[in-house]
Structures are given as structure tokens and as C-alpha cells.
């Protein structure tokens, strides 16, 4: 079996070698005369012109997908919430932000409510289409609030709405409404509501 593979490989190599080149015979074959007296023979001679291969690069104009995200720093009013948790540790100012990448149709994204439990903050944001055509543009939308709260709180985000395409949008949980989540919480307290 192994010898068959080697034979096929050698045969294939010879076929490729002769089919990728131009062969011109420059001398005829002459077989030796068989006599009592043996004269020397002559093997054919060939000039072989091998294929001329050039490898390099060229500059071509091609269409490639691009994402344009323009972020500007502007001064805006953001909600500020001071939270005193029972048995809470040191307090620090925390910015709670939610973001989404959108394309196709413009959307708004707003933090609707923040609910506190023992050591967790649950942030509910709402994603809604505005109906405006973005004309093949991609943009990032966001909303934020500032909390003065214990620095060891765990923050969990839920976005009420349909998840939009894109890798960036996979970082949050998307839900149709918040009722099922709120029912599972033990002693929830709303600390912010829009």
C-alpha cells in the first residue's frame, strides 16, 4: 500500500514536471547496432524551457466593511443618586453606563430603573427604535447615571428590547419586560426610576 502511494506520487510529479514546461527535442534517438561488434548508442538531448513564474503585489481598489464610531466628550446633566446600604462599606462615586451599537435604524437607549438588593444593583434600560434611517452608518448609543454607593456592589444590566446584531451588543442580557426578573429578587428596593 505504501509502495503504491510512492509510485503514484512519483508518477504525478513527473506528469506535473512535463506538463508545466515546453520541451523541444534537439537530437534524434539512435539505438545501438547489435552485432558481434557493438557500437555505442546515442540518447536524445532536449532543451527545456521552464514556466516563468513571478510573485508580487499590486494595489487594487476593493470594497471592505467599515464601522464608524465617533465619540465626543460633552458636558451633560446625568442623574445622581446617593445610596446608603445597610452594612455598606466605603462609598465612592460610580458611573453606571449602558451602551449599544446600532445600524440600519436609529434607536434610543435609556436607563429606566435601578433596583438594589443586598449586594447587587440591577439596572433596567430600555432600547426603542426611533424609526430614523441611518443610511448604512453604524453608531454607538449610551446612557448613564452616577451613584454614590458602596464600592463592593455587583452590577447586573438588563436591556428591555430586542438584541441588535453585533459582537458589542452581546455583553448585556436582553429581556422583553422586567417583571420576571423583579419577582425573583429578595426585598428589592428601587433607588432610581426615570
Distance CA 149, CA 153 (A): 8
pLDDT tens track for 103-144: 888 999 999 998 888 778 899 999 999 988 888 888 888 888
Q: Report pLDDT for 22.
A: 63
More confident residue, 154 or 90: 154
pTM higher than 0.75 for the full model? no
pLDDT tens track for 160-194: 999 988 888 888 999 999 988 888 888 888 888 88
Average pLDDT in the 28-42 region? 66
pLDDT tens track for 68-98: 556 677 777 767 677 665 555 677 788 888 9
> Percent of the chain at pLDDT above 90?
14
Instruction: Indicate the burial class of 129 (C-beta count within 10 angstroms; 0-12, 13-18, 19 or more).
Output: middle
6-39 in b/e form (b: 16+ CB < 10 A) is eeeeeeeeeeeeeeeeeeeeeeeeeeeeeeeeee
| Ranges of each domain in the chain | 2-50, 80-193
Distance CA 145, CA 132 (A): 26
CA angle at 101 for the pair 96 and 107, rounded to the nearest 5°: 90
- In 10 A of CB 179, how many CB atoms? 8
Amino acid at each position: 500500500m505504501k509502495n503504491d502511494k510512492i509510485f503514484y506520487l512519483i508518477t504525478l510529479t513527473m506528469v506535473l514536471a512535463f506538463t508545466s514546461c515546453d520541451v523541444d527535442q534537439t537530437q534524434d534517438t539512435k539505438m545501438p547496432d547489435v552485432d558481434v561488434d557493438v557500437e555505442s548508442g546515442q540518447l536524445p538531448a532536449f532543451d527545456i524551457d521552464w514556466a516563468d513564474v513571478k510573485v508580487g503585489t499590486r494595489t487594487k481598489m476593493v470594497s471592505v466593511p467599515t464601522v464608524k464610531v465617533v465619540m465626543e466628550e460633552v458636558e451633560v446633566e446625568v442623574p445622581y443618586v446617593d445610596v446608603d446600604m445597610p452594612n455598606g462599606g466605603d462609598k465612592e462615586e460610580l458611573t453606571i453606563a449602558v451602551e449599544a451599537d446600532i445600524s440600519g435604524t436609529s434607536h434610543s437607549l435609556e436607563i429606566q430603573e435601578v433596583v438594589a438588593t443586598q449586594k447587587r444593583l440591577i439596572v433596567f434600560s430600555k432600547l426603542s427604535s426611533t424609526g430614523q434611517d441611518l443610511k448604512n452608518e453604524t453608531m454607538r448609543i449610551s446612557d448613564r447615571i452616577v451613584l454614590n454607593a458602596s464600592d463592593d456592589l455587583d452590577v447586573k444590566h438588563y436591556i428591555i428590547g430586542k438584541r441588535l446584531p453585533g459582537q458589542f451588543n452581546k455583553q448585556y442580557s436582553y429581556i422583553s419586560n422586567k417583571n420576571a426578573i423583579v419577582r425573583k429578587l429578595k426585598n428589592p428596593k428601587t433607588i432610581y426610576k426615570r
